[in-house]
Every structure is written in C-alpha cells, then in structure tokens.
Structure 1
Amino acid sequence: MPDKKHTTTSSQVNEDAKDSAQLELEIARPLNRLQESSGNPVFVVDELFNVVAFANGARSILGSTRSTDFSLLDCDSLSPEQQARLTEEVRKVLVSEDPKLQRFLRLEVEGENGARVFCLTFEKEALCGGRDGVRCTAEPLLAKSPPHSPPAITKGAEEAIIGWTFDKDTKVFEHFGNDDVGEMGNVHLSEWLTCVSENERSLVENAFSDILEGDASEINIQYRVTLATGVTRKVSTLAKWAPATNGQSPSALIGMHQYNFDNQSVVEDLKLFSYLARKVQLSILVYDQFGNISWCNNAFSECTGYKFEDIVGRDPNDLLRGPLTETSSVRHMRDRIRKGKAFHAELVQYKKNGAPYWVSIDGNPLVDDSGKVTRFISFQTDITETKKTQSAILRSEIKFRSLFDNSTDALLLLSPKDGVIIEANMSSFKLLDTERLVGQRFEEIFPEHPDFRVDHLNTLIDENNGHQRHSAEFITTSGQVRPVEMTVSRTPIGESIALFVTLRDVSEKRLLEEQLRHTQRMEAVGRLAGGIAHDFNNLLAGQRGFSELLCNSRDLSKKDHVYANEILKITDRASKLTSRLLSFSRGKSDRPVVANLNELIGNMMPMLSRILKKEVRFTSQLDPSLSNVKVDTNQIDQVIMNLVVNGQEAITSHDGVVTLKTSMIQLTGAEIFITGKPKPGKYAKVTVRDNGQGIHRDVLEKIFEPFFTTKKGAGTGLGLSIVYGIIQSNGGHLMVDSEIGSGTEFSFYFPEVLEEVKREDSPDLLERMPSAESSKSGATPTILVAEDQEQVREILELGLGQSGYNLVIAKDGLEAIEKGKNYDGTIDLLLTDSIMPGASGATVVKEMQKAYPDIKIVLMSGLPQQESVECQELEIDAYVDKPFSIRKLLELIQDLVAVPKN
C-alpha cells in the first residue's frame, strides 16, 4: 500500500498540465519501489490451470486453504468473472510461441479493510519435467477507501454540491453555494438538458415534468452530465417545492446538484498506465471520450518532441495531423471513438519540429464499472522505416496490380499446398463464366484433367526449370467449350510462395488458325483452278478452232455441218464453266454488264438441283416482267449459290423446301436495309427462302460478320460476309428476316436499268473467213506466232495460213525471240501466249518491241485479262481470251495490220 501522503485529491486531478505531469511522477515513485522490492506476491500456474507454488502472501489474494495444487476456479476470494479472466490470460501465455511474452491484468480483491488493487504480470516459466507454466506476479497499486468512510462535502473534496432555485414559469435555474467545479450561471432547463447524456435525458425531463404538473412531490434522480470543461460526471439531483408565501401556491423549486468526481478510479488508472508505459517501448496516448488528449507517456514525448503540458486537452487532429494525413483514416478513428469501439489505423503524423512520420495506431476503449466508455488508450508505433522499405515494393505492387487487374488473360494465384485460389482478376471470372473463384480449388475447374492437379503442377514446375505450359478445354456453366492455354510458375507473395497461373483463351487463336488454313486451302484451290482453267482453255482453244474450221468448210455435208456446230456450242459452254470456276475459287470476275436475273437463275437451275440434298425440294417462282439490272454475273451466281446452300443447311426435317423467287418492287427511299437506305425507284428483287429452323434474334445481327458461324466445326464464317460484300459492291441492298421454327428469308435488290442485254450475233459459219490484205507490192503481213500448246499452235497455223498471212511459228518463248531477231524482213504482228516455258510472253513482247518498234502486239491467255499480271505492265494492242474464235481473231488481226488505202 502506498503512503497516505501520496494520495491524490480531486483538486490535484483537475490542476493544469504542469500539476498533471507532477502527478505522474508521484505515482511512478511508489511503483518503482514496489518493483525494486522482491516481496511482491507471486504464484505459478501449470498447463492444467492449477496453482503449483506461491509466495509473499499470494494465498491471501487467491483465498485458498490448500497449500498447493489447487485450481484457479477454487480461489474463494475471486469472483467467477475474475477466475475466468485470470484463466484466459494464463492460457494466452501458455499457447504463445514467444518465450518473452508478458501480459497484464488489473485485479481488484475485496478484503476486511476494503478492496486491494493489483497489477498482475504473466510470464512463461519452465517447470520440472519439461512442462510449461506461467509465473504470475501481483504488484499492489492503491486500495479503495473503506466503505464506512464517508466523503466530506467541502471545498476540495471528492464531491461538490451546488444549490439552486428553479422558477416554474421561466424554467430557469439560479445557482448559489459551492462553485468548486466552475460557475454555471443561470441556465434554462432546456440548456441543462443538452448537458445531460443522451440516454438519460428523458429521465431528467420526465422528473421535472412530473413535479411541475403535480404528479410528484419531489425529485431524487442520478444521471451523468458533461461539464463546460468537457469532463463527464455523475450528478445526483434532489429538489422540493419552496414554501409558499401569502397563502399562494408555491412557484419555485429549491434543490441541489451533487457532483461525484470519482478521482479514486482516476488515480488507479493513471498508476496502471504508468506501469504499462514502463513495460512496453511504445508511444501511449490517452484520449477522453471526445477524442481529446488527456495523457501521454515519455516514449511519445521522446518520439514527437511534445511535452505533457504541450498536448493535454488538445485535439490530436489540430496538433499531430497535416497535409499528408489521410482524412479517411482520421474519420475512421473519430467514428470508432464516437461509437466506443476499438480501432486500428496507419497514417502520417507530424512531430513538433514539423517532420512527418508514419505511425501505426491501435486504440482500445477503457470502461468504468457500469460498462460506460470513459477514455481511450492508444499504442502508437513509428513505422516510417518500414514504410520507406515498402515504398519501392508498393510501386512495384502498383504496377503488378495494374497489369494483374487489366490483363485480358485470366490470372490466378493458387496455394501450392492444396490448389485453393487466393486471388483472381476480372478476366478470370469472364473466361471461366463463374461468379465464385476465390476459395475454390483449381482442380475443380478442370475435373477431367488430372494434369491440372496441384501436386502434378508442382512436379512439372520442378522438372521444367520453374514453369510449365499446358493446353486444355473445359465446359463453362453456360455449356460453352473453351480451349485455353495455361502457363504456371511460382511467385513470392510476401513471405510465402504461390502458384501464378495464366489462362489464355485461345478460341480466337484457333479460329484464326482454322481461317488461315481455310484461306491457304482456298488459295491452293484457286491456284489449282487457275492452272486447270488455263490448261483447259488451251485445250478448248484447239477444239473450238478445229470446230470452227469444220463449220466453215464447204466440203462437208449438211449433216456434218450440224455435228460440227454442236461441238462448237459445247465448247462455248465449257468455256463459260471454266470462267465460273475461276470466279468461285479465286474471287475474280468480269466487269458489270446488263443482265436479266431470270436468265442467270435459269442457267443455274441444273447445277442447283444437283447440289441440293435429296430430301430438300427446290422450287422457283420467276417474274416474267423482271427488269434488267447491271451486275457482275459471275458474282451474282456466287450469291445465289451461297444462299441456296445456306438454306438447305438450315433444314433438318425431311420435307424441306428451298424457294427462289424474283419480283419487281417500287422503293420510296425510306426503307432501311442492312446495306443502308436505297434510292427511290424500281428494283428487281430476288428472294431465297427456306423452311428450316430459323435464326435467333441475338445471332441474326452477327451473321454477316467475317468468320462468324453457327456451324460448329464445319463452317468458315465467310459465305454470308462474301454475299454482303458482293451485293454492296454491285450497288444493291440486302435484307434478312427469320423466325425460330419458321425458316429464314434472304432478299437482295438491284435497281432497274433500261438498257437491253447485249447479245452476240451468231455468225454465218459458212461465210468465208477474213483474209490477209496485200500491199501494192503484193506482200502480205508477217505474223510471229509464239504458242507452247501444240493443238493451239496447229489451229493458229491452219487458220492464219489459210487466210494468206506469212507465219513464223515458235513452240516457246526462247524460240520466238531467236526467230524474231533473226528473221530476214519485217514482222508486223506478234501473237503470243502469256505463259510459256523458257521465256514468258512478256519477255517475248519486250524483246520484239526493241527489234521492231512499230510491231503490233496481241497477247493470248487461258486466264481472264484482268488476272494476267503480264498485261498490266506491257503496252499491248489487244488481249485474247482462250478459247477464242478464229473468225474474230482474224477480224482483229485484219484491223491491226490493215494496209492503208491510197
């Protein structure tokens, strides 16, 4: 027990900052003496919570009659709550892995001479047999005054009394008597009620209301008020009616407020704070319930440079906070203090010299016997050096976080022990089509792939120098099949190691690869088709030439002429077939021409009937009044072909029908098609309709996008995009309408043109072929023929020779150059194939133009003119597609080498 001369009175508690600092020193002296002495009560508890040893009067604290080996729950002097708290502190020390851990507990024990207060220190201690125990040292603090010792109600005592009168009409208090706690002045009842604690305000208001309305004869209540100094105190209010005068009813109350300052508890708490301040090397601040500083320890003063008298009663936000302090952290602490809750915060504070420093604050409320929060104690740790170390890590983490969150790949962090997902970015939720990832085991995402089990991944990483890559497919919750490429490696996360998994959706990559393969196949088919068409046209050129010569022969019978004419017609149809083959395979076509869509569809009927499935019926409804349009006929063939094939693919029943219909329609210009608004006027309309399964509205708007397809594993997604491009490039418009279960209808429109379809006149095959004209000297033009195909070369030799031209025949490009340069005379015209072995037609043309500057050039090819690379760079006079007409070729040559008329 400390001496009575050290007992602090209430007036000392309320002295200025200098007296408060002195109070701390006075409290610390007896505590130091107690700590230096070796006579403090001490007892030892084993791991079963039994007291196995005690000394220096510890038996009287515990209240046990047994010498040793009694349970903490058998201590008679302790209440059940105290026994439970003591047992809990012992347990925390026993389970701790820190051998130097100390824990503290304030313990109040009732005795014959009043209550004794101890600060218990718990430390780990080794017992016999290697067992763990806890050493408990009881350091006496200050005993409460005996209950029979009443406080004196005088100036400077622990309580203060203020008398007052209260006018029932004005409801104003007029104070008199002791003003030890500060002059309150005359105040209205409403002002007084604002000082009363909120949860007790109705109690006071009802008490005054009852006595003023005659429902009670006196007031006798206890409650709490907040004084002008900001301190909360208990108040006992007693009041009665003042005696009436002159026979009138009483008009005033007379009463008193008795303030209980409870400084005894304050002193005990300050002693405990001082003791704890010596035990921990932390800055300690004590706040009142309003958040103002009421106490600090020496460690805080040494850290910040503020002395006790500099900070007591000050708002820490005005004193310690500045520009770098996060307002959100300050709001958080204020809110927790207002609610009486513990808090933790890390923020920037400022020392007395203005230097900023980082501090970690842990605040806890202190409550009185009734459970009311009276103060807050906060432990503050300077973490500036830690923050400096973390700043570089933070910058790297910010970069990592930005990359992690914004990555288009799915990124996951896994526990290497059990494969539980620790963290995932937004792309992971989108790719895996789930709302839950964190906490889920990774192998649950790929249940059918044992290669993705965490133990297998760890093994693969170890065997492959720290990283491993896998490819797999999984089914999302919506039923979609997603191929992924996974890369996994180990990465440090703080002091631990995690598996860093990257999942890349390779659906688009595989689609692009498939599209590339398709494009390469199409390119190969195009080249093959081009080569076949070229060679086939060479064959057709010979066949057509001989047929034409037969038709022109007068030695044949009429019946033979008919046969020859039929061969010629078949040759022309074969030529159109090769042209269409090139258009489909290579996307090349002729220039737009005036055509009738009915005729185009009629020509395609046999082909369309053959390509459709047997269970699909093909019908047509062609409007005989359909107007002409200007289109690329080969491209329109391709559009019709694609739409008809698409229609049959949409049919799954055995009674499928694909209908092709034409009609004339008048458009106003207000219509909106997929390809835009049309110009007003008449349009030829072509409709391809099927009775298939239809297209869903969500998919309908995407069907014309390149590479979009609903044919899983079969389609390329190019057919309808090609249709869209062809219709738009030919100046037409496109529309589609579909309904699930009722089929789909594609319609395209082309504006009407008033021009007539140009039709080639059928020549009289018996009419003589054009012949060469002779000059005045009797000489006929000389033609150098360069052709590697024997049949074409032979027909040219026959046809041109019979017409009277001088011919120089070469079987390839090299021979043509040699014969042309060595010819003894003038060569008037060069007729050469574009593709030949040895030297191409372009080489022959260039060499002959050097040797004969005025020579005429006719280039032949089995490919259409616009597909010939040679003709784009050469200066030529004419281009002839194979197979060609001998008659038209002779007419062309005659025009080029015609002898001038004098």
Structure 2
Amino acid sequence: PGEWGRLSPMYRDGFSGQPEQSFEALAWTGDSEEKVVDVAISRLEVDDQDLAMVEFRDLTERRRAEVALHHSENRLRTVVANAPLIFFTLDRNGIFTISEGRGLERLGLQPGEVVGRSVYDVYSDHPEICESCRRALAGHEFKELIDVSGMSFETWFSPTRNSRGELDGAVGVAIDVSTSRRLEQQLQHSQKMEAIGRLAGGVAHDFNNLLTVIMGHSEMMTRKAAPGTPLHGEAEAILSAGRRGADLARQLLAFSRKQLVEPKIIDMNQILAGLDGMLRRLIPESINLSTVLEPGTVRIKADPGQVEQIIMNLVVNARDAIESGGRITVEVSAVTIDESYTATHQTLAPGSYVQLAVSDTGRGMEAETRLKIFEPFFTTKDTGRGTGLGLSIVYGIVRQYGGDIQVYSEIDQGSTFKVYMPRIMEDQTPMAAAPHGLRAESGSGTILLTEDEEGVRMLAREILEMCGYTVLAAANGEEALAISQSHDGPIHLLLTDVVMPGLSGGEVAERLRHLRPGIKVVFMSGYPDDAIVHHGVLDKEQAFVQKPFSIEDLSGRIRSMLD
C-alpha cells in the first residue's frame, strides 16, 4: 500500500500534462515474490482519449549485482586495509590514486595520506623507487626488492590499461619481508662463518703438526747446545717464534670451536669483578670504565680463561674504537629469551641466559662492516694495531657453549656487543681442572706410537726413547694393529694421533683395548676429533696431549699414565 501511495500523485500528474516521471519501488508478483522495479508514468492520447501509461521494469537482478559489488568492494577494502602489505595505484603522471594497507604503518604513513601527491615527490630521496615506478608506467611488469627506512619490501609492479588498451597508470603491491630477509642473512652469515671455521680449524691442524716438529727439534737443540753458544741462541729464537705460531694456531682453533677447553660452573659476576683491575690498566685515563653487576649469582658453564678472554677482547676492541675521551660500560645481567626474540634470532633457543654487554661511545660502524667483523683477520684498525682475530675468537668461544653474540652500532653513535651464554640455574659442584705443568721424567715400558705425519712421528719417538721407553712406531692405524698382533711382549701404552687416514685414533684405541686389555691410551692432535673430544670439551676419561707439545708435556703425560 505504501508504494501505491507514492504512485497515485504521479498518476494524476500524468493526466495533467506533467513530463514523464519515474521512480524506483518495490512490487510483488502473483507468487508473492518481491521485486525491485522502475516505475515510469507518461501521458498518451489514443483516439482522442487521454491515457496514462504505467511501465514497470524489473531491476531486481541489477540491484542484487550492485549490492554484491558494493559488498565485495567493502570486503576488498577491509582486506587490503588490514593486510600486512601496501597496495597502491598511480595515474600516468605518477600521482597516487590509491594508497592502502596496514603495511603503511611501517613507513609512518596513514591509508590515503599520499593520494593526490606525486610518487617522485614523496620518494625523492629514494631514486630506486622512482625508477621502478617509471619502468612500470612505461609498460613493464616486474618484481623488485626495495629497501626503505631500514626495511625491505618485496614489491610487484604492473602497468594498467584503459578499455582501448592504452597505458593509463600502474598498480603495485608491496610486502614487508624485513624479518625473513634478516633471517636469511643470518643463515647465510652463519653458514659462511661455519665454512671459514672449518677452514681455520684445518689450517690450525696442519700448522700444529709443522710447529710440533719445528718446536720439538729446536727444543732438542737447546738441550744439546751449550748455553751461550750461537747454536743455542738460534735454537731459542726458533723456539720463541714457534710459540708465537702456536698462539696463533690456538686462536684459529678458538674461532673454529675446536679448541680444547675445561668448563666449570662459574659466576660471571666474579669473573668480571676479578678482571676489573686489569681492565682499568688496559685503557687510558681519558676513557671512563664502569662495570655493572647483576644482583645475586649468575652462573654459566664455561672455561674461566675463555670467558676472561671474551671480556678482554671486547673491552680492548671498545678502547680502540674511541679516538679521544669516551666511556666504556661492561654490564652483566640475567635475561630470559622468549619465542618472540628467537623468531628473529634463530641462533638462540628460548630460555634463561647470562648477558654480557660491552658498550662504548666510539666511532661506530656501518652495516657493511658489521657483517664482516667476526671474520678472521678482518680489521678496521690501523696497520700494526690488531691481527683481526679478537672478535672472531669471541664468536667461536661463545658459539662453542651454545651462546650467541649480537652487535648494535651506528656511525658516530658507538657500539654495543651483547654476549648471551646459557645460564645454570641449579647449584653444581665445579669440575676439577685437568693437571697442568707436568714435569719431564724418565720411565720404562713399551709404547706403540701411531702418527701419520712422519716428522711428528720421528720427533715423538726420539723424545720417548730419550726418556727410556721402548717405542714401536706405526704410520697409520692398520699398521699399528699389525704391530700389536706380531709383537710378543707387552705393550703398556698406545700414543696415537686422533685424525688419520683410514682408522682414526679412537678406532685404533677401541680395537687395541679388546686385543690387549689394560693398555693405557694417550691421544694427541692439533685438531681434536669429536669422537675423542666432544665438541671441544675434554672427556675426563681420555688422556690428551695438544700439539704442538713440548718434551715436558709429552713425557710428563706418558709418565702420569703409566705410574
């Protein structure tokens, strides 16, 4: 009835000569189906009679399509507005016509904020963005990774065309891939550091074999030559150079995480407090050093000497970054790493950690330098001021204990290095340290020597025979087993290299223990194998001599095993 009430006045107007009128109304069919109709009324004269023609056109499907389109547009607008992306369109002159998406928040923009502005003005400081838009407006479709405001966006560009096929603008979709790109860079960096570590460990292994021969024979020369003679002095010089080479090899092993260590339960507060005096002597008076300790006890399981090395290297690095007066802060704190942090730092697992932070007010570093600072022999210091191994050693030590190191730095804003080490919550009894400083002593007994490097084998044999032992020498594991089977007398001890072609030192030892129960075993290597030294941590059940060894090291270890 209401709809007919609207129709009656128009019906009367039709007879009064008013122009044709129309309006939209609801109508019902004989089946009571509701329809949307367009009602048009016009006046007609037929056979001298005035008539009013009422025309009904069914608009139901058209209106349903319009409503569906409107809802679809709203849904699309809602999806785009809430999606973590940026959706934009440009006209042929590069003017923004649409700018939507939650990703705009990352750039400090609001949806629609740049609409009506030129892309060349908005991003005038980013010529690569302007060039990409020019390419799209020229008809090219492509994908590109764009860096802006410290973030990375994977962006798809596509030209748009009008109904005549002419270029009339461009459309783009940008997705923030900063997190995934950062994780990818971390993985690549980790893989590169792992490869460099394997190379460094291999070099150190071969280097230690050479140093063993050089240092061993020079030490023998110092014993044979009279003190004060030129020969004795030359031998001492060779031995001194060899020791410096051995220090370098130890640093390479520390980086490659193959250094032999003896971990204990230690309190990081006590370590830092004990180093305070030494650290202050390392830095000039123009630099203010402050240390901040965590209240209570913060325990980790690590080699105390290596932890001291971490602190010393980081403080020295901070000192060298400060050109004149400045400040260095060393802080120990207990932190909890949650899953939100590990989502972007996959080198750590969630849990409790002890954090060592070393901050300085020095010159800082750019991003390119930050990516390389943990590589061996990379240094930004002047010639003669560093070997480039300090931070790589820190990296190797920290990773050896399941920790991580992060660096935060900007040019002229200083740097902060944060070391994370797994925290030991329960009280544990510290591990006993292995004996050091063994004296060279003579002895007796038969020793089966297995070493694939001829120079090392000859040197070790000469030292042992000089100390009174009978030596059976083998160049590999198979030969050692053959000698054991053919030798009628007792063999009191096996002295074997760890890494050899064919049978490893561990395999030779295992077989000989079955063939000769009660035989003692001493391992030696310049590159500890995981089967003998688990991830670089000394197994208390194994006796070990690290190459390069001195006469006292080798003879003392052998005597202690046979006594």
Q: Aligned pair 1:713/2:376, yes or no?
A: no
Q: 1:438 aligns with which of 86, 97, 115?
A: 115
Mapping of 1:503-652 within 5 angstroms?
A: 503-505=174-176, 511-512=182-183, 514-546=185-217, 549=220, 553=223, 556-559=225-228, 574-584=245-255, 586=257, 590-592=261-263, 632-649=304-321, 651=322
Provide the secondary structure at the position in 2 that maps to 1:837.
coil
Match among 144, 153, 156 for residue 470 of structure 1: 144
Q: Deviations over 1:409-463 (max 9, x none)?
A: 3222344x44443322234533544442223344444554564346x425544xx
Structure 1 residues 599, 24: closer, same or farther in 2, change over 3 A? Answer: closer
Q: Shift of residue 862 of structure 1?
A: 0.9
The 3 A distance-change label for structure 1 pair 543 and 587 is: closer
**Counterparts of 2:90 and 2:433, CA distance in 1:** 74
Q: Are the structure 2 counterparts of residues 596 and 469 from structure 1 closer, same or farther at C-alpha, using a change threshold of 3 Å?
A: closer
Matched letter for residue 470 of structure 1 = E
Question: Cα distance 1:562–1:875, how it changes in 2: closer, same or farther (>3 A)?
Answer: same
Larger radius of gyration: 1
Partners in 1 of 2:548 and 2:7 — Cα distance?
A: 121
Aligned residue in 2 for 1:89? none
What's the offset of the Cα at 1:884?
2.7
| Aligned residues with identical type, % of pairs | 26
Looking at structure 1, the residues matched to 540 and 398 of structure 2 have their Cα atoms a distance apart, in angstroms, of: 34
Match of 1:404 in 2: 80
Q: Which has the higher contact order (CA 8 A, sep 6+)?
A: 2
Return the alpha-carbon distance in structure 1 between the equivalents of residues 288 and 8 of structure 2: 111
- CA distance 1:487–1:872, shift in 2 (3 Å): same
Amino acid aligned to 2:99: A
1:487–1:502 contact (8 Å) kept in structure 2: yes
SS at match of 1:405: helix
Task: Name the CA distance, whole Å, in 2 between partners of 1:676 and 1:518.
Answer: 25
Whether 1:790 and 2:458 are equivalent positions in the alignment is no
Matches of 1:483 and 1:419, distance apart in 2 = 22
**Deviations, residues 95-126 of structure 1 (Å, cap 9, x unaligned):** xxxxxxxxxxxxxxxxxxxxxx85246xxxxx
Q: Is the 8 A contact 2:314 2:358 kept in 1?
A: no
**1:786 Cα offset (Å):** 1.6
In the alignment, the residues of structure 2 paired with residue 535 and residue 605 of structure 1 have an alpha-carbon distance, to the nearest angstrom, of: 38
Aligned length: 469
Contact 1:410–1:431 (8 Å) recurs in 2: no
The Cα of 1:839 is off from its aligned counterpart by 3.9
Q: Deviations over 1:456-509 (max 9, x none)?
A: 425544xxxxx42234556xxxxx466544212368999999743112445556
The answer to whether structure 1 residue 304 and structure 2 residue 28 are counterparts is yes
Q: Which letter maps to 1:583?
A: A
Distance 1:567 1:22 in 2: 117
Question: How far apart, in 2, do the equivalents of 1:389 and 1:491 lie?
Answer: 25
* Cα distance, 1:819 vs structure 2: 4.0
Distance 1:811 1:404, change over 3 A: same
Runs of 5+ consecutive residues of structure 1 not aligned to the other structure: 1-15, 32-116, 122-275, 285-299, 307-351, 363-378, 462-466, 475-479, 623-628, 662-671, 678-685, 694-708, 731-739, 749-754, 774-780
SS at match of 1:590: coil
Q: Is the 8 A contact 1:583 1:635 kept in 2?
A: no
**Separation in 1, partners of 2:311, 2:416:** 14
Residue pair 1:515, 1:716 contacting (<8 A) in 2 also? no
Distance 2:418 2:145 in 1: 44
1:425 maps to which of 76, 97, 100: 100
Structure 1 residues 724 and 521, CA, compared in 2 at 3 Å: closer, same or farther? closer
Give the equivalent residue in structure 1 for 2:554.
Answer: 889
CA RMSD in angstroms comes to 5.9
Alignment of 1:127-206 (within 5 A): none
1:801 to 2:465 alignment: yes
1:518 shift after superposition: 3.7
The letter of the residue matching 2:506 is: A
SS at match of 2:369: coil
Judging changes above 3 Å, is the alpha-carbon distance between structure 1 residues 504 and 540 closer, same or farther for their aligned structure 2 residues? same
Match of 1:223 in 2: none
> What is the Cα deviation at residue 304 of structure 1?
3.3
The range that moved more, 438-447 or 492-501, is 492-501
Q: CA deviation at 1:520?
A: 3.8
> Counterpart in 1 of 2:444?
772
Q: Which whole-Å CA distance do the structure 2 matches of 1:524 and 1:22 have between them? A: 87
CA distance in 2, matches of 1:878, 1:832: 11
- Which one of 864, 868, 884 corresponds to residue 530 of structure 2? 868
- Listed as ranges, the matches of 1:101-112 within 5 Å are none
Spell out the pairing of 1:19-98 with structure 2 (5 A cutoff).
27=12, 31=15
Q: Distance in 2 between matches of 1:764 and 1:852?
A: 28
1:818–1:620 Cα change, 3 Å: farther
Contact 2:328 2:361 (C-alpha < 8 Å) held by counterparts: no
Equivalent residue for 2:476, pick from 787, 796, 812: 812
Q: Aligned with 2:370: secondary structure?
A: coil
1:81-104 C-alpha deviation (Å, 9 max, x unpaired): xxxxxxxxxxxxxxxxxxxxxxxx
CA distance in 2 between partners of 1:803 and 1:770 (Å): 4
Deviations 1:184-236 (A, max 9, x none): xxxxxxxxxxxxxxxxxxxxxxxxxxxxxxxxxxxxxxxxxxxxxxxxxxxxx
In 2: Cα distance, 1:795 partner to 1:827 partner:
20
1:21 and 1:389 mapped to 2: Cα distance? Answer: 26
Question: Does the CA-based 8 Å contact 2:88-2:100 persist in structure 1?
Answer: yes
Q: Is the 8 A contact 1:856 1:876 kept in 2?
A: no
Tell me, yes or no, if structure 1 residue 675 matches structure 2 residue 339.
no
Contact 2:439 2:552 in 1 (8 A): no
Q: 1:486 aligns with which of 137, 147, 155?
A: 155
Report the Cα distance in structure 1 between the residues aligned to 2:119 and 2:332, rounded to whole angstroms.
49
Question: Does the CA contact (< 8 Å) of 1:858 and 1:878 recur in 2?
Answer: yes
Q: CA deviation at 1:515?
A: 4.0
Letter in 1 for 2:554: L
Contact 1:421–1:439 (Cα < 8 Å) also in 2: yes
Assess, with a 3 A threshold, how the Cα gap between structure 1 residues 659 and 509 changes in structure 2: closer, same or farther.
closer
Q: Distance in 2 between matches of 1:520 and 1:403?
A: 39
DSSP-derived class of the 1:119 partner: coil
Partner of 1:836: 500
Distance change in 2, residues 1:617/1:508 (3 Å): farther
Alignment-derived partner of residue 545 in structure 2: 880
For the structure 1 residues 823 and 304, does the alpha-carbon distance in structure 2 shift closer, same or farther, using more than 3 Å as the test? same
For 2:173, the equivalent position in structure 1 comes to 502
Using the size of structure 2 for normalisation, the TM-score is: 0.61
Does residue 119 (structure 1) correspond to residue 18 (structure 2)? The answer is yes
Q: Distance in 2 between matches of 1:655 and 1:22?
A: 93
Unaligned 5+ residue runs, structure 2?
A: 40-54, 292-298, 337-355, 375-390, 402-410, 420-429
TM-score between the two structures when normalised by the length of structure 1: 0.41
Secondary structure, aligned partner of 2:81: helix
Instruction: Name the SS of the counterpart of 2:334 in structure 1.
Output: coil
Distance 1:718 1:425, change over 3 A: farther
AA partner of residue 546 (structure 2): D
- Residue of structure 2 equivalent to 1:457: 136
Distance 2:180 2:443 in 1: 64
**C-alpha deviations, 1:49-86, integer Å up to 9, x for none?**
xxxxxxxxxxxxxxxxxxxxxxxxxxxxxxxxxxxxxx
Question: What is the CA–CA distance in structure 2 between the aligned matches of 1:875 and 1:763, rounded to whole Å?
Answer: 17
In 2 relative to 1, CA 502–875 (structure 1 residues): closer, same or farther, beyond 3 Å?
Answer: same
